[in-house]
Amino acid sequence: MKIRNVNIQDIEKLKGIGKRTFTETFSSDNSEENITEYLDNGFSTEKLKTELIDKNAEFYFAELKGRVIGYLKVNSGQSQTEIKDKNYLEIERIYVLKEYHGKKVGQLLYEKAIKIAKSKNAEYVWLGVWEKNPRAIKFYEKNGFVPFDKHIFKLGNDKQTDIMMKLKIN
Q: Which residues are catalytic, by number?
A: 140
CA distances from 8 to 15, 41, 150, 163, 167 (A): 11, 18, 33, 31, 30
Residue 4 half-sphere exposure toward CB, CA atoms < 13 A: 14
Q: With H, G, I as helix, E, B as strand and everything else as coil, classify residue 81.
A: coil
Q: With H, G, I as helix, E, B as strand and everything else as coil, classify residue 2.
A: strand
